[in-house]
Amino acid sequence: MINRPLLDPGALEGVDLADPRLHAEYDFTEVWRHLRDTAPVHRHPTTRRGDGFWVITRYDDVATVYKDGRLFSSERGNVLDTLLAGGDSAGGRMLAVTDGAHHTALRSVLNKHFTPRALEVIVDSLRTATWKLIEDAVAKGEGDFAADVAANIPLAAICDLLGVPQSDRAHILSLTPSALASSDGAPTEEGTWSAKNELLLYFSELAASRRAKPYDDVVSLLVTSEVGERPLSHEEIIFNCYSIIMGGNETTRFAMIGGLLELMRNPEQWQALKSGQVSLETAIEEILRYTTPSLHSGRTSTEDCFLGGEFIEAGDIVTVWNASANRDERQFPDPDRFDLARTPNKHLTFAYGPHFCIGAYLARAELNAVFGGLRAMAADMWLTGEPRRIYANFLSGFATLPVSFTPDPSFTGA
């Protein structure tokens, strides 16, 4: 559904922010505004899912938590469900849930494959492949943009980085959407764990093959590198492969789908992009801010502290809500308006501080290819049905986006 009913802030006492159904079926705009104004550091009560936790909603407070990895640690987990379940088994071994010196050293190794120079060949390839997908979709006239275009782009780029064979990519694509979300009602623990375990098993086998015969890919890099004067363990390698495939696929895909939906809902913004009134680069930052594919991130307080006037005890779960921070009136004028010309636009979609998304450059390149292709090839587009939202408390986006395109007669080929 596009236009969800607004969730009443007056019902906040009974709201469980860990419930995937609520995020799929209700619009949290007024709840986030109410919390930012009256309780920016809010204590969420204990629910059947687990202990209570802190909910941080203002931009400045969210940035403070992201920046201080010593006081607000990722090592017990960075997703609410995992934290409520007792912690992440990959803590201290996977980049996203590692802090301190080991995080710095591991990030330094992985950065070798994520610099603009290292990604040059992959970015050129993804642009060519993306424009072909869009050309086919526009020529076809009608289809599901989520399945026909968006599902194929981030996954292809990440699989190129990891060295996943073409023959295995359909299998990987079938697993990643189920590991953190569901497109058909609230995800089940059995379903998410099954998908996660299959992905981990796949990368375990791929890592073993790269030990025997390394190539020029991220898996081979992890297999052959030392971090802190020791080789990475087999578990560290497969955990980081899992993190890269999930972080690089799901969030960018939802930004593509959500961005196109907002362009169709705001035709004046589409015309501003189409005409060149706004640049692709500026437009992409607004798409990232407005869609905010990752709703939250989680941390654990390592010692007693104060934040926003509230006393947080050592060991408390602290959740920062990007979905709220990216709509904070204190940072973004008229924040609920989709404005492709918005600048400055210092959104927190890629987080901030030591855990700033390592794949941000690649994600922006993918979005540039998609919306650059649409700008060149489509004269107009419109919805032909109701998009279907995913069910998750960590991710936000649409599983389907039925659209029709009118080709731009001035486009003569890439």
- Residue 350 DSSP one-character state: T
23-38: pLDDT as tens digits? 999 999 999 999 999 9
Task: Name, in order, each residue with C-beta under 8 angstroms of 96's C-beta and a sequence gap of 6 or more.
Answer: 74, 78, 243, 247, 355
Task: Name, in order, each residue with C-beta under 8 angstroms of 32's C-beta and a sequence gap of 6 or more.
Answer: 57, 321, 323, 324, 327
Per-residue pLDDT, averaged over 160-177, amounts to 88
Q: CB-hemisphere CA count at 13 Å for 202?
A: 24
Confidence of residue 351 (pLDDT cuts 50, 70, 90): very high
218-267: pLDDT as tens digits? 999 999 999 988 999 999 999 999 999 888 888 899 999 999 999 999 99
What pLDDT, on a 0 to 100 scale, did the predictor assign at position 414?
65
What pLDDT, on a 0 to 100 scale, did the predictor assign at position 182?
53
Question: Is the four-CA dihedral 366, 347, 394, 218 of positive or negative sign?
Answer: positive
Assigned token pair, 66: 């992201």
Confidence of residue 180 (pLDDT cuts 50, 70, 90): low
115-151: pLDDT as tens digits? 999 999 999 999 999 999 999 999 999 999 999 999 9
What pLDDT, on a 0 to 100 scale, did the predictor assign at position 388?
95
Torsion angle, CA of 352/356/361/364, rounded to 10 degrees? -50
What pLDDT, on a 0 to 100 scale, did the predictor assign at position 412?
85
Per-residue pLDDT, averaged over 364-368, amounts to 98
Counting DSSP H helices and E strands in the chain, the numbers are 16, 10
- Domain residue ranges in the chain: 9-407
Name the helix (H) or strand (E) containing 124: helix 120-140
Identify the CATH class of 9-407.
mainly alpha
Assigned token pair, 167: 């023959």
What pLDDT, on a 0 to 100 scale, did the predictor assign at position 195?
84
Per the DSSP assignment, residues forming a β-bridge with 196 are: none
Per-residue pLDDT, averaged over 86-111, amounts to 95
The one-letter amino acid at 70 = R
Long-range contacts of 165-174 (CB under 8 A, 24+ apart): 168/202, 171/202, 172/199, 172/202, 172/245
Measured CA to CA, the distance from residue 358 to residue 392 in angstroms comes to 23
Cα distances (angstroms) measured from residue 331 to each of 58, 146, 183, 283, 348: 9, 31, 33, 18, 11
What pLDDT, on a 0 to 100 scale, did the predictor assign at position 193?
77
Confidence of residue 184 (pLDDT cuts 50, 70, 90): low
Measured CA to CA, the distance from residue 23 to residue 20 in angstroms comes to 5
46-83: pLDDT as tens digits? 988 889 999 999 999 999 999 999 999 999 999 999 99
Residue with tokens 């922006």: 364
Task: Name, in order, each residue with C-beta under 8 angstroms of 384's C-beta and a sequence gap of 6 or more.
Answer: 142, 402, 403, 404
Is pLDDT at 22 greater than 90 in this prediction?
yes
